[in-house]
Structure 1
Amino acid sequence: MQDTPILSSEPQIQDFYEIQKTVDVARRRIDQDIERLEGAIRALKSRRNSLAGISRFPTEILSRIFICCAATCERGEPAQLTMDWVKVTHVSRHWRTVAIGCPRLWTTLVFTQPRWVEEMLKRSKMAPLVIDARVGSKSTEAVQLAMDHISRVRELSIVCPSASSLGKLFSSVPRAAPMLQILVLSTTINYYADPFRDKYSIPTELFSDDSSQLRRLELIHCNLDWTSHLLKGLTHLKIHDTAPGTRPSTSLFLDVLEQLPTLTVLDLKDALPSDGSSTVSHQRNVKLRSLTNLHLSDPGSDCANALRHLSVPSSATLKLSCHIVVSDADLSSILTFVSGLWESAAIVSSAAKPYKCPIRSLRIRGFGSPALGLQAWPTVLSFQALSGNPDPPPFIDLCFQWPSGITLGIWDKIIGGACAVLPLEQLASLDFVSAIRQMPEQMLLRRFGKLAHLRSIRASGLAIHMLLSAMIAEPSTATSTNVSANLSTQKLSHNREEMPPAVFFPSLLHLIIEETNFDSSCNGEYAELEDLKACLMERYERKAEVRKLTLSRCRRLRTEHVDELRELVVNVVWDGLETGFTNF
């Protein structure tokens, strides 16, 4: 058998490489054609996009739109700041070019993404910067990089975990901040848990070369020398939680305020002078004519000492939190200041009598600790939890605390005294929050019972027996007898021949009851419910009926109970919750 000759494989391999080269050339040509066609498509899309109305906007208008978009995303706490607005650079080539060429778009640095800080510093060019940072282990380097540009920083807000970390951050900062308008420094240490923890002391040389544009200064857990150059030209001053040894004297405190004629906000907590027995004359008075907000939180004696020397416009919002109020003199000074809010801007009428801005809504709040609060509004509020609308900030907000061993007469002294100096003649809405049980009944009647415009009362948080008793008290006998006996002695009297006597709260139309246990005796007698029904019937017979009754989050109240109340009141609003019952 003749052997078959073995063919060489080299020609086959060579043919394979030739074929592969041909395929590669063909693929490259196809890729080039694809790239050319894709380029043509992109060009066509660009031409098409250019016909859209938004693409024909001038660059200046488009830039402003981008800036507004970024501002919307930048609202909120520093820890939540995002760069969602950067997506505008991904929409089109034109938008990207406009966005990158707009320095103002990159001025609010986002430290939640530290890698972006250096790029934003470049793109912002020389535009004024906003540094709002909560310093942590991942962002320290980025914040320090941004601080090197302090010469063009407009707003600087830094929150550090400790005084030492804040000190390191400012150790090498340039001394000139010619564009700085807002400075906010804070540490997050819980000084209530550790009150002896060192607070950051602002260096005297901080921005000492130039801080002439500074208008807003906020310091929390920081100590400041009150002779500092930073306390000049301010319109907004907020200092919270300073060390006792760093607080100013009364004289220095007043000197600083006299040099701030345009101050609009003064917010001090644990920062007031504590030398109430100083030699400063009581006649020395600083008029803060531009002030719109005055917030003080300190011991009652320190608040009283400061208020003795201050005058503010009647339009200013006042918020006082006075700890440990004991002295009658201190309380008198505080209430005299509150009263002066109206007297300082009295408008002389045609009858030559001063006009006071009336209070239309008032809330009295009792707290679990020995404390109480009073809030007032110049507008009529509904005070209804069912409405779901939060109340606007009050323009008078007072909070008083006292030692736990002192209780006798404290409500009459503080709330009675405060209500005596407030213009309540036009009061239309009254709100008691966990306050009915502590309030003396005679004081309730004396301060509110005869108000001609009071149409709405809300009671929330505690039993309402005393309020119901006051609502049917007889003005002719209330001052000489125990009003709390009214509900037991003034039961339904359908066969009265004499003229029904007058009642307190003569204009009351709407009663709101919240978070009340209608079986407070816990023995199935429904004492609160029976008292309420007796009160409503009594007022109806005296021609002072309640037209609307709102019941919210009340315990041990059933549908049949509400049906009984609907027979006595024209309009009963109930949330339908049946709670407080035990199912066996």
Structure 2
Amino acid sequence: MSEIQDTNTSSISAWESFGASRISHMDRLSASSGVAVLEEARLKLEREIEAICATATTMRMRRNSLLPISRLHPDVLACVFSFLAVDETEIPRNRGRLYQYGRSSAAIRESLYENQGWIRVTHVCRHWRNVALDHPSLWGVDICSFPAWTDERMRRSKHAPLDITYPFVQGGSVGAMKVSNSKFIDLLSALGRVRELTLCRLNPRDIGELSPYLLGAASLLESFSCDCPLEPNDHSTSRPLPLLPSNLFDRTTPRLRKLTLTNVLISLEAPLYDSVVDLSLSSNRHSCFDSSYFTRDRLLALLHRMSRLQSLEIYHMLPCDSEQAIPPSITPLADLGGRVSLPRLRSLIVSGNIQDCAWLLQALCIPPSTTLRLDGLSEGSALIQHYHTLLSIVASHMHGDISTIPIQCLSINFFPDQLHIEGWRTFPEHLFSLSTQEIESCNQPEISVDFLAVTTDRFMQTLRHFCEEPFFDEVAALDVSTTTVKMSAFTWRDFFGRFTSVQKLAASGAVVEPLIDELSQNPFVASESEDSDSTPPEWLFPALRRLKLCRANFGHYDSGEEERLCIALVELLEDMQDCPTTNIEELVIQNCGIQDIDIEDLRSIVPTVTWDSRSGAAPRLSQEPYEDEEEEEDWYDDEPNFFDEHPDVDMHDIFHAFGMH
């Protein structure tokens, strides 16, 4: 330590001695000296100070060059910067109002610093700045994100590819477009360098003015997105969508891979589609379209040309049958001229009317490994066979093939006027445990189907038909959930009697009590009388090993019901333990309002019992809003205490309460 201090002292002494020798000729000067002499002395001292600063900068650069990070090659460092440049949180942009009453100057400077995003790396040291400036590709990423810097970033990008996301200003006149969007027009002069082009909130009336600037060749274009906002309350199916020119980009887009169109179309015969592997067509109108240039035949002809398609998303952009004024029944396959094959498709998302979704799925031939998302809206013209046809196609997709394993886990959620079905090919642990993972981090389903605005009778018929598909006897895990208080016409054996391979079962909401009752009817003990007239019921889930119960009313309601349900569960588990056919090895209980003493009874029977330690049950929605009308006067006095002494309910509980996983 003393050697370091001696070195520091000698260095300071050396530089002090050197500095003194540089200005020793000024020792005799004072503030009383002549004006000309003092002016000359001050200028010499300024030059000496500048020299000292330059020397200090050189030494700092030398010091930085000896740091371990300086071992990185400039190209490697630039690659690190490129990851930062495309990070959504590091895009340079105005992140809010900078000048607010009461904010300190330090806070304002911090906001300005945050606005710079990834460009902050150029302020770390001279070497990092030089590396960033020597790699023009960094400066072309989302070049319009901070308009005040667009010109400088354009200059620094040199001839590198550009990513342009331009939000148009709404409410301006058509004639003033060239003036208000002059900077964007200047950017389009470099269309040959554009790699990604996104036009946000483009007014349909401005398409004619803008089109001439989009007709140049775009040989580097990889992604094109355009959305045109609809007029308020414009939900007409007869009014055609605006059209972009069919000769967009001079028909020269050899690298185009992603195309996203919202409330706007490009002629389906345009060659621009041929190289696309990711196509998204969407509209804010929740109904099919009746247009001469957007028909079912034209859409199928387009998809037939796009055999390399890997991702297809259609949100309320399915065309109507041109021969009928109302959405038609399912078109026979013979009328479609054969099915359209998309052998490379990995993801298919379709949202629209039930009958239109069924038509499209009938018309397509996709690999069983394709991730499937369906969002079907029921309308007056939808018939029960539309649901059956759609779910039959979904069930066959779940079955898999030689290269794709079948669905291993099935989840069915009942909401008021909604039926939600999900399927996984790999086991989703979060459905059958007390996992507190964020929704985004959970294992996402390979198949998801939503039926909206569907009556209870209709979705019961639909579900019964769906559960009769032959391959469901191979499903190993089942999750059934509801947010309603009553589930009329629901019996487990009628719907899931053929699910004989289920080893893991999760039940949530009003379906828990009938599940316990029906499992208790299993023939755990063979009948002693061979001449008995009564035939024992068939086994329900004979392979069951893991059971999860969620949001069941074990407590805080009618005490007699509480006692009956707990006793029924205990007796059921005891019968299972004594039966050689089935045996519960793990029990999970969540938001059931069960007490500690009951948990101890369960743990004396089941080897592993997992509990959330909460004695309060989560609320459920009533299917009949006025079913308790007689007790309305005393409602506040008799309101159940859902959370007891544990009022801290997190977001995970709320999602579970409404059947969302």
TM-score > 0.5, shorter chain as reference: yes
Note closer, same or farther for the CA distance 1:88–1:401 as it changes in structure 2 (3 Å cut): closer
Deviation at 1:121, TM superposition (A): 1.0
2:427 matches 1:380: yes
Q: What TM-score do you get using the length of structure 1 for normalisation?
A: 0.79
Match of 1:299 in 2: 353
Q: Is the 8 A contact 1:519 1:529 kept in 2?
A: no
Match of 2:312 in 1: 266
Q: Is the 8 A contact 1:364 1:431 kept in 2?
A: yes
2:612 matches 1:552: no
Distance in 1 (CA, whole Å) between partners of 2:521 and 2:569 is: 14
Match of 2:274 in 1: 232
Deviation at 1:75, TM superposition (A): 7.0
Match of 2:290 in 1: 245
Distance in 2 (CA, whole Å) between partners of 1:79 and 1:464 is: 52
Match of 1:461 in 2: 509
Deviation at 1:388, TM superposition (A): 2.2
Distance in 2 (CA, whole Å) between partners of 1:128 and 1:328 is: 52
Distance in 1 (CA, whole Å) between partners of 2:447 and 2:319 is: 23
Q: Is the 8 A contact 2:503 2:543 kept in 1?
A: yes
Name whichever structure is richer in helix by fraction. Answer: 2
Higher mean displacement: 181-190 or 146-155: 181-190
| Aligned residue identity for 2:421 | L
Note closer, same or farther for the CA distance 1:198–1:255 as it changes in structure 2 (3 Å cut): closer
Match of 2:222 in 1: 181
Distance in 1 (CA, whole Å) between partners of 2:498 and 2:166 is: 55
Distance in 2 (CA, whole Å) between partners of 1:528 and 1:465 is: 7
Deviation at 1:307, TM superposition (A): 2.2
Match of 2:496 in 1: 448
Q: Is the 8 A contact 1:456 1:510 kept in 2?
A: yes
Higher mean displacement: 112-121 or 426-435: 426-435
| Aligned residue identity for 2:53 | E
2:554 matches 1:518: yes
Distance in 2 (CA, whole Å) between partners of 1:336 and 1:294 is: 17
Equivalent residue in structure 1 for 2:53, among 3, 21, 38: 38
1:507 counterpart SS class:
coil
| Aligned residue identity for 1:185 | C
1:566-581 matched pairs, under 5 angstroms: 566-579=603-616, 580-581=640-641
Higher mean displacement: 390-399 or 162-171: 162-171
- Where structure 1 has 5 or more consecutive residues not aligned to the other structure, the ranges are 1-14, 348-354, 478-499
Taking only aligned residues, the RMSD between alpha carbons, in angstroms, comes to 3.8
Distance in 1 (CA, whole Å) between partners of 2:520 and 2:231 is: 50
Q: Is the 8 A contact 2:587 2:610 kept in 1?
A: yes
Match of 1:495 in 2: none
2:68 matches 1:28: no
Deviation at 1:223, TM superposition (A): 3.7
Deviation at 1:150, TM superposition (A): 2.2
Higher mean displacement: 457-466 or 120-129: 457-466
When the two structures are aligned, how many residues end up with a matched partner? 534
1:180-199 matched pairs, under 5 angstroms: 180-187=221-228, 195-196=235-236
Q: Is the 8 A contact 1:282 1:308 kept in 2?
A: no
Q: Is the 8 A contact 1:161 1:189 kept in 2?
A: no
User: What whole-Å deviation, never above 9, does each CA across 1:12-42 have from its counterpart, x for those lacking one?
Assistant: xxx9874555444444333322222222222
Deviation at 1:101, TM superposition (A): 1.8
Higher mean displacement: 137-146 or 219-228: 137-146
2:152 counterpart SS class:
helix
Note closer, same or farther for the CA distance 1:385–1:504 as it changes in structure 2 (3 Å cut): closer
Higher mean displacement: 242-251 or 180-189: 242-251
Higher mean displacement: 261-270 or 60-69: 60-69
Higher mean displacement: 132-141 or 142-151: 132-141
Distance in 2 (CA, whole Å) between partners of 1:190 and 1:464 is: 47
Higher mean displacement: 34-43 or 325-334: 325-334
| Aligned residue identity for 2:448 | D
Q: Is the 8 A contact 2:510 2:552 kept in 1?
A: yes
| Aligned residue identity for 2:591 | R
Note closer, same or farther for the CA distance 1:16–1:426 as it changes in structure 2 (3 Å cut): closer
Q: Is the 8 A contact 2:142 2:165 kept in 1?
A: yes
Q: What TM-score do you get using the length of structure 2 for normalisation?
A: 0.71
Q: Is the 8 A contact 2:388 2:466 kept in 1?
A: no
Equivalent residue in structure 2 for 1:311, among 365, 369, 382: 365
Deviation at 1:378, TM superposition (A): 0.9
Note closer, same or farther for the CA distance 1:290–1:78 as it changes in structure 2 (3 Å cut): farther
Match of 1:149 in 2: 190
Note closer, same or farther for the CA distance 1:96–1:257 as it changes in structure 2 (3 Å cut): same
Note closer, same or farther for the CA distance 1:455–1:435 as it changes in structure 2 (3 Å cut): farther
Equivalent residue in structure 2 for 1:327, among 352, 362, 383: 383
Deviation at 1:158, TM superposition (A): 2.8
Match of 2:461 in 1: 413
